[in-house]
Structure formats: C-alpha cells, structure tokens
Amino acid sequence: MLLAGVLLQSGGFFWHLLFGLAEDGSAGILITRTGAILIAVALVIVGVGLLRTGRARVEPAADTPH
C-alpha cells in the first residue's frame, strides 16, 4: 500500500505536468491526492501496529553484578 501510494503520488505530479493546465484541474491532481491518502493510511497502519506490539522490555541477566 505504501509503495502504491508513493508511485501514485509521484506519478500524479508528472501526469499533471505533462497533461494538466494551470487554470484547470486534471487527472494528475486526483492521482496525486489518491497517492497521498494511501500513504497516510499506510502510516496509520504502521503506527497502530507499533503501538499494539509495544517495545520489548529488556531484563538484566541474573548472574551479572549490578
């Protein structure tokens, strides 16, 4: 999903550059916004996954002096 978002967003920029008009919208704008939404969704999924797994707690070994 993240890769698709990155490709769509950068592809939308180039699409608008080649085929878009300054005064009017184009398909490139829609493609760019779709890519941005996919990137945002992917980052939310990563964030939720990190919060759910938590950080592993490291406990000191029993035989080492403190």
Question: For residue range 38-55, what is the model confidence (pLDDT) as tens digits?
Answer: 999 999 999 998 888 876
pLDDT band with cut points at 50, 70 and 90 for residue 4: very high
- Taking the whole predicted model, whether its pTM rises above 0.75 is answered as no
For residue 9, the model assigns a pLDDT of: 94
CB 16 within 8 A of CB 28: yes
Question: ∠ CA 44-40-32 to the nearest 5 degrees?
Answer: 165
pLDDT > 90? residue 58:
no
For 1-66, list the strands marked E by DSSP: none
Can you read off the two tokens belonging to residue 12? 């939308």
Q: In this predicted model, what pLDDT tens digit does every residue of 9-39 receive, in sequence order?
A: 999 999 999 988 877 888 999 999 999 999 9
